Amino acid sequence: MPSCNTCGKQIEATARICPSCGALTGVHMRSTDASRIRVLGFSSAAVVAFFAFVLLRWLGFLP
Ligand SMILES: [Zn+2]
């Protein structure tokens, strides 16, 4: 069983946040969350670009 880096208490191996002190344990944080944020950012940027394209085309700036 791993222990918390902050308070030293034993925590679940899958716990992302220490139930004792609330510190982040770093378990499954970087890969999943970072990729999810990246996908979220990309999709929102794509939506913004799409609406900008539609708006520009609607206003007659594009052929
Ligand atoms: Zn802790």
Residue 13: the pLDDT is 85
Of all residues in the chain, what percent carry a pLDDT higher than 70?
84
Which segments of 1-63 are extended strands (E)?
Answer: none
Rounded distance from Cα 26 to ligand 1 centre (Å): 12
- Which residue(s) pair with 24 in the sheet? 17
Q: What is d(CA 23, CA 7) in angstroms, rounded to the nearest whole number?
A: 8
CA of 32 relative to ligand 1 center, distance in Å? 22
Give bridge partners of residue 3 from the DSSP assignment.
10
The environment of the single-atom ion ligand 1, i.e. residues with CB closer than 5 A, is: 4, 6-7, 18, 20-21, 23
Interval 24-54: pLDDT, tens: 887 665 566 667 778 888 889 999 999 999 9
Is residue 14 a contact partner of residue 1, using CB atoms and an 8 Å limit?
no
Q: Would the pLDDT of 21 be above 90?
A: yes
Q: How far apart, in whole angstroms, are the C-alpha atoms of residue 5 and residue 11? A: 10
